[in-house]
Amino acid sequence: MSPFSKVLVANRGEIAIRIFRTLRELGIGCVAIYSDVDRRAAHVRAADEAYRLGPGPAAESYLRGELVVEAARRAGAEAIHPGYGFLAENAAFARLVEEAGLVWIGPSPSAIELMGSKTAARAAMRTAGVPIIPGAVDPVRSGEEIAALGEELGYPLIVKAAAGGGGKGMEIVRGAADTERAFEAATRQGEKYFADPTVYVERYLEDPRHVEVQVLADAHGHVIHLGERDCTIQRRHQKLVEETPSPGVDDELRGRIGAIAVDAAGAAGYRSAGTIEGLLTREGEYFFMEMNTRIQVEHTVTELVTGLDLVREQVLIAAGEPLSVTQADVVLRGHAIECRINAEDVSAGFLPAPGRITAYEEPGGPGVRVDSGIEAGDEVSGLYDPMIAKLIVHDVDRESAIARMRRALAEFRIEGTPTLVGFHRALLEHPCFAAAGTCVGVIDSPELAQRAEELTQSFSHGTTSVAGGPDGATSTAPRLVDVEVDGRSYEVRLHVTEPPWTALARRRRERGAAGRGGTADGAVVSPMQGTVLTVAVADGDEVAAGQLVCVVEAMKMENEIVAPRAGVVRDLTVAPGSAVGTGQLVCRVAAPA
């Protein structure tokens, strides 16, 4: 007996496809929605039926709640699953869905609302006896109020936007002289990103681990936890690697933080899958930070160690069924790691790198899972999140899981646009990761970017590798070919002079590759649609290769556009606040005279 006949998934990419898989297993029809640029996207092909989200800018289509509900009505869907991002934590949308007589596969709108306000959530958690990060619960209204808290709590402090979360609108305060600046900056960011200038203050914890606990709660008062995930490996608050169990958590601590998470979900009147995010200090103290009221990107690692399908639990909970397991039934087996495979250029400061995927082969074999939203020939759009796949491995312990992940990463072939595959290979071979350090300073280091580059080039098995001489202008390019000598196979690097047409094609390819922020003629172009936040250069300025030109904000991410080569800035076309489109000229960097 299927709990629903049809469910609409209000999302795109890998998570839409992931949810469809569970729906199919439950005998439920899969309804997709799409923006104009996604008409032929993988999630549309994976669904049973798909509906266009009306005219209007494609960047906003999946945020237009009334169009999503309208599509559900047309399809005759009984429920809506929001996935993550977009409308997943929008209480007004959840209400709209319920008022339309549809089932919302998620927590109650009031629970979403409560957790959306970080100050209200902290107050509710304190009342419930959940340990919150020390600090104030009420908002602060001036730098002076922050200074008063500094007297009381000591420094450092951190000012956070009350409507924030995930790291936007956070300012560290090192001393009394810093309070005014931090107040202004956090207030401005809260206003800009969340349309809410309210900020509050916490004690700043140095070098913590980011440890979150997965919970499940049904409509019958049952709440359980499924252990923790460690999400310490981040860059500018974007998670890159997640694993479970956390290297910082033993059985005793797991019992303690599990109970904290269950109490927190109970106090919020929570229903569905949710996550208690917290910080773990070096001294082993654990504090509640915020609750995510959605299925998360990294839910997969929990699925591998528990053997449960969290999306299935969400669907059954929404249909009014009790949890399929009790706390005593939950067994955590082995170790799981997830690497997020984004279309980003590590050597260009993790700049999103939209473009066409020309070749795509996923890894496989024992203990390997790939959740992806792309196939060879697909275009990674600059309008959405650049994550194209998640690679998840499971093995008996952490060391074996790392070895398995390194093996699987080496099998992953993605061509046409740069990805984080090389970065993950470099990180997972780094001693800081093996030692379960927080890897702060390593993730952003030029050494890691360099190693990522080497590992990316060494992969191009059987294909012409890039650029010969230092200026890329050589007529010989090393070619990797397979030869067989005396019945044994060898890979040989040939340094042969290319025929003119091959050299031409290669140079064209390389110019295309340089197109992410720059081209061979020195043009600096925006790789994505967005808004210019700051411009770091003026016409006539001399710049070095790699020097910051401007910052473009897109998808709430700040992306640094850098000079593709040394030279002089000419034809600067942007100013702070300018809207830029994909491929739009920002300026030229003319070769120095």
Residues that bind ligand MV4 (CB under 6 A): 133, 158, 166-167, 202-205, 208, 210, 232, 234, 237, 279
Task: Choose between 166 and 512: whose C-beta lies nearer to ligand MV4.
Answer: 166
Task: Choose between 234 and 372: whose C-beta lies nearer to ligand MV4.
Answer: 234
Task: Quote the CA–CA distance of 164 and 195 in Å, as a whole number.
Answer: 10
Task: Choose between 23 and 133: whose C-beta lies nearer to ligand MV4.
Answer: 133
Task: Choose between 167 and 221: whose C-beta lies nearer to ligand MV4.
Answer: 167
Task: Choose between 237 and 495: whose C-beta lies nearer to ligand MV4.
Answer: 237
Beta-strand ranges (E) seen in 199-334 are: 199-203, 209-217, 223-235, 238-244, 272-280, 286-292
Task: Choose between 75 and 443: whose C-beta lies nearer to ligand MV4.
Answer: 443
Provide the token pair at 97: 């869905």
Nearest approach, Cβ of residue 534 and ligand MV4 (Å)? 21
Task: Quote the CA–CA distance of 324 and 329 in Å, as a whole number.
Answer: 9
Task: Choose between 60 and 207: whose C-beta lies nearer to ligand MV4.
Answer: 207
Helix, strand or coil, per DSSP, at residue 296: coil
Task: Choose between 440 and 591: whose C-beta lies nearer to ligand MV4.
Answer: 440
Angle, helix 446-459 to helix 421-429, in steps of 10 degrees: 120
Q: How far is CA 446 from CA 179, 301, 320, 436, in A?
A: 32, 29, 52, 21
Nearest approach, Cβ of residue 236 and ligand MV4 (Å)? 8
Location of structure tokens 């450092």: 156
Task: Choose between 289 and 357: whose C-beta lies nearer to ligand MV4.
Answer: 289
Say if CB 456 and CB 421 are below 8 A apart.
yes
Beta partners for residue 165, in sequence order: 168
Nearest approach, Cβ of residue 203 and ligand MV4 (Å)? 6
Nearest approach, Cβ of residue 161 and ligand MV4 (Å)? 11
Residue 231 dihedral angles phi and psi, to the nearest 5°: -120, 35
Q: How many CB atoms lie within 10 A of CB 217?
A: 25
Say if CB 405 and CB 339 are below 8 A apart.
yes
Nearest approach, Cβ of residue 500 and ligand MV4 (Å)? 51
Nearest approach, Cβ of residue 70 and ligand MV4 (Å)? 35
Provide the token pair at 83: 């996935």
Task: Quote the CA–CA distance of 256 and 592 in Å, as a whole number.
Answer: 62
Nearest approach, Cβ of residue 404 and ligand MV4 (Å)? 24
Nearest approach, Cβ of residue 358 and ligand MV4 (Å)? 34
Task: Choose between 106 and 208: whose C-beta lies nearer to ligand MV4.
Answer: 208
Dihedral in degrees, nearest 10, Cα atoms 202, 207, 208, 209: 140
Residue 503 dihedral angles phi and psi, to the nearest 5°: -60, -40
500 preceded by a cis bond (ω within 30 of 0)? no
Task: Choose between 202 and 218: whose C-beta lies nearer to ligand MV4.
Answer: 202
Task: Choose between 279 and 337: whose C-beta lies nearer to ligand MV4.
Answer: 279
Say if CB 398 and CB 335 are below 8 A apart.
yes
Nearest approach, Cβ of residue 168 and ligand MV4 (Å)? 9
Nearest approach, Cβ of residue 287 and ligand MV4 (Å)? 8
- Pick from 60, 65, 100: which is nearest to 79 by CA? 100
Dihedral in degrees, nearest 10, Cα atoms 528, 530, 531, 535: -10
Strand order from edge to edge, sheet including 209-217: 286-292, 272-280, 209-217, 223-235, 238-244, 335-342, 387-395, 368-372
Nearest approach, Cβ of residue 284 and ligand MV4 (Å)? 15
Count the helices and strands in the chain (H runs, E runs): 16, 32
Say if CB 95 and CB 49 are below 8 A apart.
no
Nearest approach, Cβ of residue 133 and ligand MV4 (Å)? 5
Nearest approach, Cβ of residue 166 and ligand MV4 (Å)? 6
Task: Choose between 81 and 210: whose C-beta lies nearer to ligand MV4.
Answer: 210
Provide the token pair at 489: 């196979």
- 213, amino acid identity: V
Nearest approach, Cβ of residue 156 and ligand MV4 (Å)? 8
Residue 24 dihedral angles phi and psi, to the nearest 5°: -60, -45
Nearest approach, Cβ of residue 137 and ligand MV4 (Å)? 13
- Pick from 28, 13, 27: which is nearest to 80 by CA? 28
Task: Choose between 232 and 419: whose C-beta lies nearer to ligand MV4.
Answer: 232
For 479, counting Cβ atoms within 10 Å of its Cβ (0-12 exposed, 13-18 middle, 19+ buried), the class is middle
Task: Quote the CA–CA distance of 109 and 97 in Å, as a whole number.
Answer: 10
Task: Choose between 151 and 206: whose C-beta lies nearer to ligand MV4.
Answer: 206
